[in-house]
Structure formats: structure tokens, C-alpha cells
Structure 1
């Protein structure tokens, strides 16, 4: 379970007790379950309270509104999603090729989980209705992991491992390797490739990515 400090950027009024913390997390998880099952518009705050227990006052206290609750869910799940996907690059522990391959494999593994794929569809649906939410999710999610890879590429460039004059552009290009998989998942198409085929594809793409970043 997350400690209290980790909820600070998520809950508007940070709970100060273990019980308050548990209530906050219960609301996030119950609301997520209901949104995924019935859709955002069909779920009321009363539905969430009846499912999670407690009162609507807790939702208003911690999140401000139903929209604030959904935004907090996105932040909560983003932290869970990205926590183990992209670790800081340390050339003393792993070479860049293995780091780039393992990052994409971790990403792909998470995308293939049905519940996470369903939540991505829900987020995209709500983003169409709320440009501010879309901007927030992009800034705190995809952009952050792009910056993490850009930092790794900048580090590798400084050590002469590769040549990368624009790390952020290269990071965006790198994540394009998974674009076809993302589209298939969002459209609900079944995965046709085996784990070995995915490893072969990702390794092939990373090798060509690295070939394109050799000194001119």
C-alpha cells in the first residue's frame, strides 16, 4: 500500500491517518471498478460511496468533485503503471541496448493486461470531452516517460555510447516502436504475436534505432 506522502499529489486534502489513507485509496479503487464496468457518465457519486462505504463528504474533501476524483484515479494509476517500466539508466549496471529493449518489453507487458487496456480506453474517451484532463494526463504520463528516456539518451551521448543531438525527439521516435501494438489494444484486437515474436520485433527495432544514432 502506498504511504501517505505518495498520495500527496493525488488527494486534494492529504489524509493524516492510516484510516483516512485507506478510505482515500478505497474510493479510488472502487470508483475505478465502477467506471470500467458501467462507464464514467453512468456512475454517480452515490454509486461510488455505496460501493466503497463512507460518505460523499469524503469525496468532496479529498477530490473536490467527480471530475477531480477521475483525475486523481488517472494520477494514481499512472504512478502504478510507470513505477517499474522505466528505471534510470545506469551504464554501470546494464548496457544501453538491453536497457532500451527491457523498457519496451515492460511497457508492452503492461499494455497487454486487459484491465489496464480498458482503463486506457476510458481515459481516451474522457479526454475527448475534457481537454484540460487530456493535457494533464499527457503532461504527467507519456511526457514524463519520454523525458526519462531522453535523459538516458543524453547520458549515453555524454559518455560517447551513441550520438544523439536531440534526445527528446529521439525518445519520441523510440516509443513509436510500440505504436502498432497500442492501436491494436485500443481497438480491442486480440494479441496475435507470441512473447518470442515480440522480443524479436522489439530487439530488431532497437538495433536499428541504435544504428541510426552512431556518430556521423
Structure 2
């Protein structure tokens, strides 16, 4: 039985693998295509190139992804899951101290964006997004918007429990991620980061303290 994935082209139907071998074949295509896109750029890579690199046939690409665009979107979904795994978890006031939670989330985010492969992939995504507005919206909803909402929920929960005062949690969440915006853009543009690890931690802790100060209950 086939399942229709949410793709940029709703007329394209993709089959979800139901066997271990099918999952392995799909993952191999994702990984091979990622390597080729990062090495040569999206436009320079053909489906034949991907098949020659990964093995198999183009029929598998059509079967699991629909087309080249669907394959790239699936790669973005796969890498997003890896990027945010264990990094932006839901806040639980019974398990987390808010300050520690906010600091650790930013440290995790910084470690992920400074990974060489992640930085290269972010550049690739920005390039593709400029040419495909629908893809840009799709990736924003499942990337920046997703993590902002996660932090907004944490701020809302802390507000409800009387720990802080935050009237606009989503606005504050956007402000919170602005703490690393300069460093993030340096990474994307290939500008050297001159701060060492200890200085990065000091920067994050200082900014989180200022952020929480602005949300004190008066």
C-alpha cells in the first residue's frame, strides 16, 4: 500500500518503505545524495550521479522520493532530525531549571552550527531556498519556527508557574535565539570565530542572564 508524503508537488506520490532493506536503501540514497550535493552543488548533480554513487536504480528514487526536489526535501527532513536530536527538548519544570535549560540549549545549538558539514549544508539550503519559495517556507516551518515554538512553550510554562513574566513568549523566543545570531552568520559566511570555547560559554551565560533579567516579575 502506498502512502502519499507531504511534498512540494502534491501530485507526486512516494512509497514509505516497510522492510529493513527498503529503509536501508532509502537511507543510502539520502546519504549519497547529500555527499554529492555538498561536494558539487545541487544543480550539478543528476539522478544518474546519485544512483552511480549509491548503487541501485533511478526507480528507487522515484519510488521513495518522487523526483530530485522530493529527494532534497527528504534530505532536509533527515538532517533536521539529526540536528535537533537531544538539542532542543521540551521543557519540564519538574526536571529542568529554566536558566540551565536555556543555556544548555544554546550551547547545543552552537555546537551543531559549527560542525563543518552542518555549516556547509546550511549554505546549500539557503541557496536552494532562494530559488524555491515553497521550499523556503517548508524548511522555515520545520526548522527556525519549530525551535522558536519549543522555547516559547518553555517560557509560557515558566510564566504560568510564576518563575518569570513573559507576555509574548514567541517574541521572546525569537529574541533568545538572537543571542547566537552573529555567530551563526559568521559560520554561514565562513568568517572565522575568534572566541574560544570558554568565551563562547561566557557569552551565552551572560546573555541568558540578561534575557532572564528582562523577564523578572515586578
1:159 maps onto 2:133 in alignment? no
Instruction: Find the aligned partners of 1:58 and 1:162 in 2 and give their Cα distance.
Output: 52
- Per the TM alignment, residue 63 of structure 1 is displaced from its structure 2 partner at its CA by 0.6
Q: What's the counterpart of residue 3 of structure 1?
A: none
Instruction: Find the aligned partners of 1:191 and 1:110 in 2 and give their Cα distance.
Output: 15
Q: Which moved further from structure 2: 82-91 or 52-61?
A: 82-91
* TM-score (normalizing by structure 2): 0.93
Aligned residue pairs total 209
Q: Which runs of 5+ in 2 are unaligned?
A: 8-12
Q: What's the counterpart of residue 91 of structure 1?
A: 93
Correspondence list, 1:34-113, <5 A: 34-113=36-115
Q: Which moved further from structure 2: 108-117 or 91-100?
A: 91-100
Q: 1:190 aligns with which of 184, 189, 192?
A: 192
Instruction: Find the aligned partners of 1:12 and 1:166 in 2 and give their Cα distance.
Output: 40
Q: What's the counterpart of residue 126 of structure 1?
A: 128
Instruction: Find the aligned partners of 2:166 and 2:14 in 1 and give their Cα distance.
Output: 40
Q: What's the counterpart of residue 174 of structure 1?
A: 176
Cα RMSD over matched residues? Answer: 1.3
Q: What's the counterpart of residue 12 of structure 1?
A: 14
Instruction: Find the aligned partners of 1:188 and 1:17 in 2 and give their Cα distance.
Output: 41
* TM-score (normalizing by structure 1): 0.94
Task: Kindly indicate whether the alpha-carbon contact (under 8 Å) linking 2:14 and 2:62 is maintained by their aligned counterparts in 1.
Answer: no
